[in-house]
Amino acid sequence: MDDWNRSSALQKAVLSEDWIVRPFRHTGRFGEQIINVELINTQQKNVPELDNISGKKGTSLHNLISRFDRQAGYPFAWFFYMVKGKLVSPHTGVAVFKDVSGDFSYLPERDVAVLKDWINTPYNV
């Protein structure tokens, strides 16, 4: 949720329009109560899997993620589908980061900061 609020996605969409946060409780091995959270995508749009990014960089990679974002309906959508689900491979995040750390500049600075943090401490939900 923090990454959503830091990214350009927040400027176009509200997290709860496409994702719900579902808490669930269970009892641990020693009888302790544990509360976890699951993110569930509720979007009814037909968002396809991101095309294979092998060997793509620069304009061709930017075009792929931009098309995905348009189909999802908000910027930086590819990132959130990458950390939750199977539609976008984590290799995409690495490839985009290499691009924007080198010769290409196609992400807003706020998204680069979120992506850099993910590169430094990868996670999925």
DSSP character at residue 104? -
Residue at 101 is within a domain: yes
SS3 of 23-83: the string is EEEEECCCCCEEEEEEEEECCCCCCCCCCCCCCCCCHHHHHHHHHHHHHHCCCCHHHHHHH
Q: Is 103 left (phi over 0), alpha (psi -120 to 50) or beta?
A: alpha
**Which is nearest to 46 in space by CA: 23, 71, 27?**
71
> Distance between CA atoms of 10 and 50, rounded to whole angstroms?
22
pTM, 2 dp: 0.81
Residue at 68 is within a domain: yes
Contact between residue 13 and residue 74 where contact means Cβ atoms under 8 Å apart? yes
**Which is nearest to 99 in space by CA: 119, 123, 85?**
119
Confidence at residue 79, expressed as pLDDT on a 0 to 100 scale: 94
Residue at 94 is within a domain: yes
Confidence at residue 110, expressed as pLDDT on a 0 to 100 scale: 95
Full residue range of the structural domain in which residue 67 is found: 2-13+46-120
| Tokens (6 digits) for 92 | 């995409």
Confidence at residue 45, expressed as pLDDT on a 0 to 100 scale: 67
Residue at 92 is within a domain: yes
pLDDT (tens, 9 = 90+) of the chain, 125 residues, equals 788 789 888 877 777 677 777 788 889 899 999 988 777 777 766 777 787 888 889 999 999 999 999 988 889 999 998 998 778 999 999 999 999 999 899 999 999 999 999 999 998 87
Residue at 33 is within a domain: no
Confidence at residue 4, expressed as pLDDT on a 0 to 100 scale: 79
Strand partners, 107: none
Residue at 20 is within a domain: no
- Spatial neighbors of 4 by CB under 8 A, at least 6 apart, are 10, 15, 80
The domain total for the chain is 1
Confidence at residue 97, expressed as pLDDT on a 0 to 100 scale: 96
Confidence at residue 44, expressed as pLDDT on a 0 to 100 scale: 64
Residue at 110 is within a domain: yes
Residue at 28 is within a domain: no
